[in-house]
Amino acid sequence: MNQPLSSTEENYLKAIFKLCEQSDKPASTNDVALALNTRAASVTDMLKRLAEKSLINYVKYKGVTLTSSGRTIATSLIRKHRLWEVFLTDKLNFGWEEVHEIAEQLEHIKSNELTNRLEAFLNFPKYDPHGDPIPDSDGNFQYRQQVLLADVPLHTEVIIVGVSEHETPFLQYLEKLNLILGAKLVIQESFEYDQSILVTINQSTTQNISAKVAKNIYVQKI
């Protein structure tokens, strides 16, 4: 009955979780296909199998949401992914731009004991290297109130607490600009014509930041 899921099945659950969380609506077949870099027909096949296992609520043509057991598995994957990311940066000194890909593999290791001991070994971190909250062993996230850098009013002092995009090139770029977690920013100017902003970083340099970048950085007011 409850045989372990394949990595493929797990990846579908994780994708559906993220899509539903983002939009608060059922995920469409196409969205899932896009997220997993696969085709709609493959998604339909898999949705039938996952529904059969009661991991998703799937109504033909109407999209998909996770059931409670599906959500438990998805959050466990996210928990493992983020704990491993902390391990890779804090213990093995990887850069935050390198860890996502390796954690994509490590998140599929099946051992609750391992996950829990890893968490303790890392001193129960609450956030991963990108500022994303790490769910506890019951699957509860400790959310933070945070806003996009793009939505911060002029002259407000803020601190970078997260990024919404985890791909290597983007994070490398941020690193180059000194836009790392914990950096203090003040928006000096906002340019209408391209939505870019002029930002002082750590009270030293002042940089122009594109709208695209500003929409991928989460900050908190100090």
Partner DNA sequence: ACGTATTTTTAGGCTAGTCTAAAAATATTA
Partner DNA sequence: TAATATTTTTAGACTAGCCTAAAAATACGT
Q: What residue ranges bind DNA (CB under 7 A)?
A: 6, 8-9, 28-31, 36, 38-49, 58, 60-61, 63
Q: Which parts of 59-88 interact with its own copies (CB under 8 A)? A: 88
3-state secondary structure 34-98: HHHCCCHHHHHHHHHHHHHCCCEEEECCCEEEECHHHHHHHHHHHHHHHHHHHHHHHHCCCCCCC
Output 39 or 91, the one with its CB closest to DNA.
39
d(CA 107, CA 80): 5
Single out the residue of 98, 149, 150, 163 in contact with its own copies (rule: CB under 8 A). Answer: 98
106 binds, among its own copies, DNA, none (CB under 5 to 8 A by kind): its own copies
* Segment interacting with its own copies (CB under 8 A) among 40-48, 59-67, 90-98, 139-147: 90-98
The correct pick among 48, 59, 121, 205 for binding its own copies (CB under 8 A) is: 121
Q: Which of these segments, 33-41, 66-74, 94-102, 202-210, binds its own copies (CB under 8 A)?
A: 94-102
Contact with its own copies (CB under 8 A) among 34, 35, 102, 159: 102
Among 19, 46, 118, 158, binds its own copies (CB under 8 A): 118
Q: Which CB sits closer to its own copies, 25 or 110?
A: 110
Is residue 114 within a helix (H) or strand (E), and if so which, with residue range? helix 112-121
Are the C-beta atoms of residues 198 and 187 closer than 8 Å to each other? Answer: yes
DSSP states along 199-221: EEETTTEEEEE-HHHHTTEEEEE
Query: Residue holding tokens 């002259």?
Result: 155
Query: DSSP 3-state helix, strand, coil percentages of the chain (rounded to 5)?
Result: 45, 20, 35
Minimum Å distance from CB 139 to DNA?
23
Is 30 among the residues that bind its own copies (CB under 8 A)?
no
Which sign does the torsion angle of CA 169, 170, 173, 178 carry?
negative
Q: Which does 49 bind (CB under 5 to 8 A by kind): its own copies, DNA, none?
A: DNA
- Shortest Å distance, C-beta 121 to its own copies: 6
Structure tokens at 34: 């896009």
Question: For tokens 């995920």, what's the residue?
Answer: 27
Helix (H, G, I), strand (E, B) or coil at 198: strand
Residues that bind its own copies (CB under 8 A): 88, 91-94, 98, 101-102, 105-106, 109-111, 113-114, 117-118, 121
